[in-house]
Amino acid sequence: MAKPATRLKFLLPGAVLLMAICGWAIAEPSKATRIHVDKSERILKLIHEGEAFRTYPVALGDSPQGHKLYEGDERTPEGLYLIDGRNPNSHYHLSLSISYPNSRDVARARSRGLDPGGQIMIHGTLERGERRRSDWTDGCIAVSNAAMEEIWQMVDEGTLIEITP
């Protein structure tokens, strides 16, 4: 008699095939519970309950190394923030506002006599289909317009965004 693990090995492919034939599938989440941006990989991931379900290439600020310190440094911030606004009439094809600067960002910039800046967004490009060099923003996170339309539908205000080096 076959061991239970061996039987499972033979039954599992059949079960998957049956699910596909019958139209049973594990549905992709419709909303992200978190966003992760990996600056070194130039990737934005939409995450639902700990599992990434969508991944998009991104462009960052012209000077992407390190955490944003002040207005005009062209860096993309690093750390934990929230999506705190939505602009359907954005200059850059939809935008989601990121809660930069937080109190630590403000204190760090002011200790150097600088303005921390603000208006950091996830956004599309100026025109549909426009291609740009890899990093071109003033500190925002840019995606294609098609990606921005998907992200717009799957991210609500209050969603946590983690931006890592």
pLDDT at residue 151 above 90? yes
- Residue 28: the pLDDT is 79
How would residue 26 be classed by pLDDT, with cut points 50, 70 and 90? low
pLDDT at residue 16 above 90? no
Gap between the terminal Cα atoms of the chain: 54
Q: Average pLDDT, whole number, for the chain?
A: 86
